[in-house]
């Protein structure tokens, strides 16, 4: 968080992850059905997972009911940006702090009962053990399955394109931020793609100049300047240089020093609703006296992520007075040796802390939501159950936890507040790369597709920059907020982490071209582009949507989701980067909707390739709720699953839904 708060820390490559879990491990049918409920419960029953929402496959992707390219045009290129799939905890922090808090509660009689103490401490230790085994920050089984499914469907959607590319000896480019979980997501995507395509392009890839790793990772170009643009330090420990360094430094300085953002976040964390729901949650476990004594004042309880629980003023991992190593690690041992063996995230950042009841509640909430992404790891002697603490929390109260978590992403990585563009202009180099890739293909390039794998911190600003559905509205620019109306909230803004950047979130552009000369321009026909956001066909809002409140991009025809590239270059991007065009944005040929859209050979097949993730642990067929959908941008070609069908699936899976309704407090 900005100003007085620490930023998120990404992991380095965990050397043991792939040794512990084979790439794309199979999922048993019973487990898959049970875990299917993770996504459907979210949409229908108020399990607010925020940005940890496991990926939900939309019905449109299962039906392949995308609009056909306009008459005379053929899809000749496709490109994608994707977030990594479901992962475990990114580092030893929430679990570490709650363990320290629990130890103090045990010492001072702070638990409501012995049973509550035993259950809480056992759950915390179990999720620690599960993350040690899986690897902090690494993909879970669900994450692998999600990207295998996306890869399979990417081939099926553009089968004609890829079959022709294979026949012509063309290539695919794979890129990664360089972070291990991003690369591993790409490897699983490629696995699903190759399985669906019969491996016809398995060996046809652009040779990286900077490979993201060895083995399967060697196929991926390490591209932190466009896929990890939010930090001056790259995932591999190197530092950015040149323009990329300037962009990252400017962004870091803005977030660190912006008082409007800091004050908005402080207001939301301390608003009565946040404090009340935090007490309601934690009072199931801890006594009122114990909770009342959590704070920053002398004599109150507070915990920092160190071996002593005391504050590390220098945040260097060493005691400020004695110089003793106080780095806190998930297992006992020398921190340097542990990090060399397990990756640096086995030990936590010493600046992380609990200094309020809201801090503690949000740490518990973070364990609850990450558990939704760890269902294959939640087994054996490290089984955990955080759902139990949320069963009596109403959907309205659960919404507050998601709001608190969403606000940081919204303000620091998404649309943020009116009058600024710093939080999303950092994605401009990525947008430039999207257009550059199209132009190179149109100019005769032999790369038929570019698949990029990155992070939520990449998806969110990119979605805001292009005016993607749900990312088209900023919060009021109020320096000293006094009411909820002064800040981002769920009543006045549709942005939600669960729909803007769920696990495995993806933005895909299909490009259609036409041979010959356009009689309207006297030049070659301009390429057409359509966008899929999380595999649903959606409209481009345009960068100006954030400030004007209206779409600034015009499709080729009313109701179409196809746009001329020249139109997109003129309506997407920050000031000084947009390229105005005198070309008419519309065309006169008809556009239609086709189940096979001329290139798909698998119309309506909901039982796609084995291992494609369609019925996997986090790939629900349930469409996100209406509140997740844009209210100002029309969507075309999408299909909805009947809610009753989702209910049948949940009942068949024997699912117990959390956040059940209860009487509202007065």
Distance CA 591, CA 559 (A): 9
**Residue carrying the six token digits 């000084």:** 576
Distance CA 458, CA 589 (A): 36
pLDDT for residue 548: 54
Distance CA 633, CA 630 (A): 6
3-state secondary structure 218-252: HHEEECHHHHCCCCCECCCCCECCHHHHHHHHHHH
**Range of weakest confidence among 56-60, 277-281, 591-595:** 591-595
Distance CA 475, CA 278 (A): 25
Q: Closest Cα partner for 566 from 549, 577, 582, 552?
A: 582
pLDDT > 70: percent of the chain: 80
pLDDT for residue 20: 36
Confidence of residue 547 (pLDDT cuts 50, 70, 90): low
For residue 494, is pLDDT > 70? Answer: yes
Distance CA 307, CA 111 (A): 22
For residue 602, is pLDDT > 60? Answer: no
The token pair at 35 is 């875990």
In the chain the first and final C-alpha atoms are separated, in Å, by 32
In the three-class reduction of DSSP (H, G, I as helix; E, B as strand; rest coil), residue 447 is classed as strand
Q: Are 319 and 308 in contact (CB under 8 A)?
A: yes
In the three-class reduction of DSSP (H, G, I as helix; E, B as strand; rest coil), residue 301 is classed as strand
**Range of weakest confidence among 6-20, 361-375, 568-582:** 6-20
Contacts of 451 (CB under 8 A, 6+ apart): 79, 80, 82, 154, 172, 173, 174, 175, 186, 189, 190
In the three-class reduction of DSSP (H, G, I as helix; E, B as strand; rest coil), residue 133 is classed as helix
Q: Torsion angle of alpha carbons 56, 407, 372, 59, nearest 10°? A: -10
Mean pLDDT of the chain: 85
Question: Which phi and psi angles does 478 have, rounded to 5°?
Answer: -115, 115
Distance CA 82, CA 501 (A): 9
Q: Are 562 and 66 in contact (CB under 8 A)?
A: no
Distance CA 361, CA 284 (A): 11
10 Å CB burial of residue 337 (0-12, 13-18, 19+) is exposed
Q: Closest Cα partner for 22 from 176, 203, 215?
A: 215
**Strand-strand pairing, 220-222 and 171-176:** parallel
Q: Are 208 and 41 in contact (CB under 8 A)?
A: no
The token pair at 571 is 């309506």
Q: Are 45 and 657 in contact (CB under 8 A)?
A: yes
pTM given for the model: 0.84
Distance CA 111, CA 100 (A): 13
466 to each of 398, 427, 596, how far by Cα in Å? 30, 10, 28
Q: Closest Cα partner for 418 from 410, 426, 408?
A: 410
Contacts of 316 (CB under 8 A, 6+ apart): 350
pLDDT for residue 542: 78
Distance CA 607, CA 412 (A): 40
Distance CA 344, CA 333 (A): 13
274 to each of 270, 359, 400, 463, 607, how far by Cα in Å? 6, 10, 6, 28, 43
pLDDT > 90: percent of the chain: 76
Q: How many secondary structure helices (H) and strands (E) does the chain include? A: 23, 12
Question: Which phi and psi angles does 523 have, rounded to 5°?
Answer: -125, 175
Confidence of residue 552 (pLDDT cuts 50, 70, 90): confident
**Strand-strand pairing, 171-176 and 536-538:** unpaired
Neighbour tally for 589: CB within 10 Å = 12
Question: Which phi and psi angles does 175 have, rounded to 5°?
Answer: -130, 150
For residue 658, is pLDDT > 90? Answer: no
Tens of pLDDT, residues 216-236: 999 999 999 999 999 999 999
Q: How far is C-alpha 629 from the geometric centre of its chain's CA atoms? A: 17
Distance CA 152, CA 148 (A): 6
Q: Closest Cα partner for 258 from 420, 414, 494, 447?
A: 420
**Strand-strand pairing, 353-354 and 517-518:** unpaired
Q: How many residues does the chain have?
A: 666
Q: Are 430 and 227 in contact (CB under 8 A)?
A: yes
Q: Are 50 and 369 in contact (CB under 8 A)?
A: yes
Mean pLDDT, residues 396-413? 95
The token pair at 369 is 């939501």
Neighbour tally for 1: CB within 10 Å = 18
Tens of pLDDT, residues 131-162: 999 999 999 999 999 999 999 999 999 999 99
pLDDT for residue 8: 34
In the three-class reduction of DSSP (H, G, I as helix; E, B as strand; rest coil), residue 257 is classed as helix
For residue 50, is pLDDT > 50? Answer: yes
**Range of weakest confidence among 31-45, 56-70, 341-355, 570-584:** 31-45
Distance CA 566, CA 585 (A): 8
Question: Which phi and psi angles does 9 have, rounded to 5°?
Answer: -115, 125
For residue 551, is pLDDT > 80? Answer: no
Of residues 393 and 443, more confidence is placed in 443
For residue 15, is pLDDT > 50? Answer: no
74 to each of 78, 168, 177, 513, 591, how far by Cα in Å? 12, 16, 31, 6, 13
Mean pLDDT, residues 546-551? 59
532 to each of 12, 132, 450, 511, 635, how far by Cα in Å? 30, 36, 15, 12, 11
**Residue carrying the six token digits 């330090």:** 233
Quickly list DSSP for 570-585. Answer: HHSSSTTT-----S-S
Confidence of residue 368 (pLDDT cuts 50, 70, 90): very high
Distance CA 353, CA 649 (A): 40
10 Å CB burial of residue 664 (0-12, 13-18, 19+) is exposed
The token pair at 3 is 């100003």
In the three-class reduction of DSSP (H, G, I as helix; E, B as strand; rest coil), residue 175 is classed as strand
């Amino acid at each position: 968080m900005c100003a007085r708060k620490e930023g998120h820390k990404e992991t380095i490559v965990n050397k043991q992850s792939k040794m512990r879990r084979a790439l794309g491990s199979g999922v048993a049918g019973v487990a898959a059905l049970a875990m299917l409920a993770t996504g459907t419960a979210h949409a229908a029953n108020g399990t607010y997972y925020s940005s940890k929402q496991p990926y939900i496959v939309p019905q449109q992707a299962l039906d392949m009911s995308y609009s056909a390219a306009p008459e005379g045009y053929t899809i000749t290129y496709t490109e994608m940006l994707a977030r990594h799939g479901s992962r475990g905890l990114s580092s030893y922090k929430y679990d570490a702090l709650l363990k320290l808090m629990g130890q103090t509660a045990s010492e001072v009689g702070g638990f409501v009962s012995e049973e509550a103490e035993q259950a809480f401490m056992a759950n915390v230790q179990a999720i620690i053990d599960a993350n040690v085994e899986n690897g902090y920050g690494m993909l879970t089984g669900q994450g692998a399955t999600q990207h295998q499914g996306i890869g399979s469907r990417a081939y099926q959607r553009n089968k004609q394109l890829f079959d022709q590319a294979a026949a012509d000896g063309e290539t695919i480019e794979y890129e990664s931020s360089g972070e291990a979980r991003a690369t591993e997501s790409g490897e699983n995507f490629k696995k699903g793609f190759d399985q669906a395509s019969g491996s016809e392009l398995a060996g046809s890839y652009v040779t990286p100049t900077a490979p993201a790793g060895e083995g399967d990772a060697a196929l991926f170009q390490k591209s932190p300047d466009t896929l990890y643009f939010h930090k001056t330090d790259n995932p591999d420990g190197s530092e950015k240089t040149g323009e990329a360094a300037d962009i990252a430094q400017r962004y870091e300085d803005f977030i660190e020093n912006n008082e409007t953002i800091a004050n908005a976040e402080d207001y939301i964390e301390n608003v009565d609703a946040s404090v009340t729901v935090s007490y309601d949650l934690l009072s199931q476990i801890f006594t009122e006296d114990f909770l009342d004594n959590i704070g920053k004042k002398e004599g109150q309880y507070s915990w920092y992520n160190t071996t002593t629980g005391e504050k590390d003023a220098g945040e260097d991992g060493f005691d400020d007075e004695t110089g003793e190593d106080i780095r806190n690690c998930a297992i006992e041992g020398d921190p340097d040796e542990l990090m060399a063996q397990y990756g640096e995230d086995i030990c936590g950042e010493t600046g992380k802390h609990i200094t309020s009841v809201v801090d503690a509640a949000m740490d518990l909430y973070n364990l609850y939501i990450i558990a939704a992404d760890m269902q294959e790891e939640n087994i054996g002697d490290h089984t955990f159950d955080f759902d139990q603490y949320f069963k009596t929390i109403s959907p309205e109260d659960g919404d507050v936890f998601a709001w608190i978590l969403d606000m940081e992403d919204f303000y620091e990585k998404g649309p943020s507040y009116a009058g600024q563009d710093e939080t999303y202009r950092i994605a401009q180099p990525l947008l430039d790369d999207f257009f550059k890739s199209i132009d190179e293909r149109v100019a005769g390039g032999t790369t038929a597709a570019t698949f990029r794998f990155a992070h939520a911190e990449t998806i969110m600003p990119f979605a805001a920059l292009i005016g993607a559905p749900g990312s088209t509205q900023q919060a009021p620019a109020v320096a000293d907020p006094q009411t909820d109306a002064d800040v981002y909230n769920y009543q006045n803004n549709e942005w939600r982490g669960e729909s803007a950047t769920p696990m495995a979130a993806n933005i895909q552009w299909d490009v259609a071209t036409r041979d010959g000369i356009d009689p309207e321009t006297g030049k070659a026909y301009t390429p057409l582009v359509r966008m899929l956001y999380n595999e649903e066909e959606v409209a481009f809002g345009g960068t100006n949507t954030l400030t004007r409140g209206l779409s600034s991009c015009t499709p080729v025809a009313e109701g179409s989701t196809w746009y001329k590239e020249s139109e997109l270059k003129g309506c997407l991007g920050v000031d000084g980067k947009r390229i105005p065009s005198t070309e008419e944005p519309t065309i006169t040929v008809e556009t239609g909707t086709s189940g096979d859209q001329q290139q798909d050979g698998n119309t309506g097949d909901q039982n796609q390739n084995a291992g494609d993730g369609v019925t996997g642990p986090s790939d629900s067929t349930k469409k996100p709720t209406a509140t997740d959908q844009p209210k100002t941008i029309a969507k075309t070609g999408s299909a909805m699953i009947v809610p009753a069908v989702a209910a049948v699936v949940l009942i068949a899976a024997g699912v117990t839904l959390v956040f059940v309704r209860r009487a509202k407090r007065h």
